[in-house]
Amino acid sequence: MSLRKDLAIIAELVNANARVLDLGCGRGELLAHLQKFKQVNGYGLDVDPEHIRICIEKGVNVIEQDLDAGLGNFADDSFDIVVMTETLQSVKAPDKLLREMLRIGEECVITFPNFGHWRCRMQLLFFGRMPVAKHVPNTWFDTPNIHLCTFKDFERLAADLNFPIIERRVVNLNNVESPLGAVLPNLMGPVAFYRLGRSDRATT
């Protein structure tokens, strides 16, 4: 089973038998992989009917739930890791959701398209138009992405919320970690990958 690069990195991070919550789990690739290879007790949330059907067909524990309606039904500390890939930019209140993720889980992993990528900057600077690129493929009037941000923006939010960054990675769309992005993430990295912990927890 070949996993999308960001999902493969997450799969490596997850311990066997861990409790995993995947927000916006899509077709359930990550959870199906974790269930099969790491005996993980995982749940995924999604609202897309076809995603939900595919998850069910795979035997993934998918729950039809809108992230914008909150996560109040999940108890504090009920998960080891809360994952949200390529979804942060489309929720109504990313800051509130981040807080919720770290209330429910000890750690969270978040990936999102970097709006500070040079391709985006170029389009705005030279053409004066809202950027459309491989990692942000939607036109401004027809996009689920209502809260696009950059590496720097996200790091400022994490600092404001007092959530320490455990790890940052830069992923590109060809399923490899980007060497240029590692040097200049905000300019060269198309996809941001962050692990956040709680402030009450020692980070190394």
Q: Which residues bind other proteins (CB under 8 A)?
A: 19, 41, 43, 49, 52-64, 73-75, 78
Residue 120, CA atoms < 13 Å, CB-side half-sphere: 21
- Which tokens go with 51? 């995603």
Taking the least distance from each CB to other proteins, the nearer of 71 and 148 is: 71
Taking the least distance from each CB to other proteins, the nearer of 59 and 137 is: 59
Which residue type occupies 11?
A
Minimum CB separation of residue 102 from other proteins in Å reads: 18
Tell how strand 165-171 and strand 41-46 pair up.
unpaired
Minimum CB separation of residue 58 from other proteins in Å reads: 7
Minimum CB separation of residue 75 from other proteins in Å reads: 6
Taking the least distance from each CB to other proteins, the nearer of 43 and 115 is: 43
Could you give the CA distance from residue 177 to residue 6 in angstroms, rounded to a whole number?
Answer: 9
Could you give the CA distance from residue 201 to residue 162 in angstroms, rounded to a whole number?
Answer: 11
Taking the least distance from each CB to other proteins, the nearer of 78 and 199 is: 78
Minimum CB separation of residue 57 from other proteins in Å reads: 4
DSSP 3-state assignment of 82? strand
Taking the least distance from each CB to other proteins, the nearer of 37 and 140 is: 37
Minimum CB separation of residue 66 from other proteins in Å reads: 10
Could you give the CA distance from residue 162 to residue 86 in angstroms, rounded to a whole number?
Answer: 22
Could you give the CA distance from residue 132 to residue 134 in angstroms, rounded to a whole number?
Answer: 7
